[in-house]
């Protein structure tokens, strides 16, 4: 029997791994633990129910905050999502003290996990098209060498994200492209069943969902 690849999958928000890297949950080739950074009281229980159903260990960073930064960032910065805009924006949006606490807690949590589980590989967001995704990406990229990064659905497919995506693809290497046709129905049934708070996203993104876009993983 082929040995499973062990993955610590980090998601900024409750649905990110299922929407963007569901293959590590569903293909049977990975042993996964999931860490969610945000702690929206409406969404964390959805996460907990999903991962209990899948039999996958799940943890939340445990800092109480809700992230709705995406829409405010879009209004302020009409173009692409750039780090030089994201850092001061996040400091203002979350407050410098809370943002520092998120960063420090995330690094501390992952460091402790890897100390106990050195054979696990980090899988974190690529940071395309969403300010908090990019912030989390940078925290992980700077603190943990050898991390891998998943391309986000749907953010990285938006027209406004293509410049940022192209720049990221120039400095990163695509290491895995996973067709999802064999489990797409399961992926979207799980999303609809467990992530009721995201029903609007699932409705309005049907154009992308029906394309059965492959999932991509990158490294630097």
Which of these, 60, 71, 62, lies nearest to 11 by C-alpha position?
Answer: 60
Range 22-44 average pLDDT: 96
Please name every residue paired with 123 in a beta bridge, in sequence order, or none if there are none.
Answer: 9, 148
What mean pLDDT value characterizes the chain?
96
Question: Coil, helix or strand for 35?
Answer: strand
Q: If pLDDT is split at 50, 70 and 90, which confidence band does 128 have?
A: very high
**pLDDT tens per residue across span 129-165:** 999 999 999 999 999 999 999 999 999 999 999 999 9
Range 93-120 average pLDDT: 98
CA distance 14 to 194: 10
Report pTM.
0.96
CA distance 69 to 75: 10
CA distance 37 to 35: 7
pLDDT at residue 2 is higher than 70: yes
pLDDT at residue 170 is higher than 80: yes
In the chain, the percentage of residues whose pLDDT exceeds 70 is: 100
Exposure string over 154-174, b if 16+ CB within 10 A, otherwise e: bbbbbeebeebbeebeeebee
Instruction: State how far Cα 104 lies from the chain centre.
Output: 18
| Dihedrals phi, psi of 41, to nearest 5 degrees | -65, -20
| Torsion, Cα of 60, 62, 68, 72 (10° steps) | -120
pLDDT at residue 68 is higher than 70: yes
CA distance 21 to 184: 12
Q: How many residues does the chain have?
A: 220
Which of these, 182, 203, 79, lies nearest to 129 by C-alpha position?
Answer: 79
Which of these, 108, 98, 102, 141, lies nearest to 123 by C-alpha position?
Answer: 141
pLDDT given at position 80: 86
- The CATH class of 5-219 is alpha beta
Please name every residue paired with 36 in a beta bridge, in sequence order, or none if there are none.
Answer: 11, 60
In the chain, the percentage of residues whose pLDDT exceeds 90 is: 97
Q: If pLDDT is split at 50, 70 and 90, which confidence band does 78 have?
A: confident
């Amino acid at each position: 029997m082929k040995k499973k690849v062990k993955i610590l999958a980090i998601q900024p928000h409750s649905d990110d791994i299922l929407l963007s890297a569901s293959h590590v949950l569903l293909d049977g080739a990975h042993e996964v633990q999931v860490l969610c950074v945000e702690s929206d009281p409406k969404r964390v229980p959805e996460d907990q129910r999903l991962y209990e159903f899948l039999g996958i260990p799940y943890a939340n960073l445990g800092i109480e905050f809700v992230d709705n930064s995406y829409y405010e960032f879009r209004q302020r910065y009409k173009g692409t999502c750039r780090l030089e805009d994201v850092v001061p924006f996040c400091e203002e949006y979350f407050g410098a003290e809370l943002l520092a606490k998120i960063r420090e807690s995330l690094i501390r949590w992952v460091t402790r996990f890897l100390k106990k589980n050195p054979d696990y590989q980090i899988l974190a967001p690529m940071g395309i098209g969403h300010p908090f995704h990019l912030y989390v990406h940078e925290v992980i990229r700077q603190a943990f060498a050898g991390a891998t990064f998943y391309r986000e659905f749907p953010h990285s497919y938006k027209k406004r994200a293509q410049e940022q995506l192209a720049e990221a693809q120039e400095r990163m290497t695509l290491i895995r492209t996973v067709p999802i046709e064999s489990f797409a129905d399961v992926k979207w049934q799980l999303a609809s069943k467990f992530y009721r708070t995201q029903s609007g996203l699932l409705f309005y993104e049907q154009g992308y969902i029906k394309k059965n876009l492959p999932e991509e993983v990158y490294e630097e």
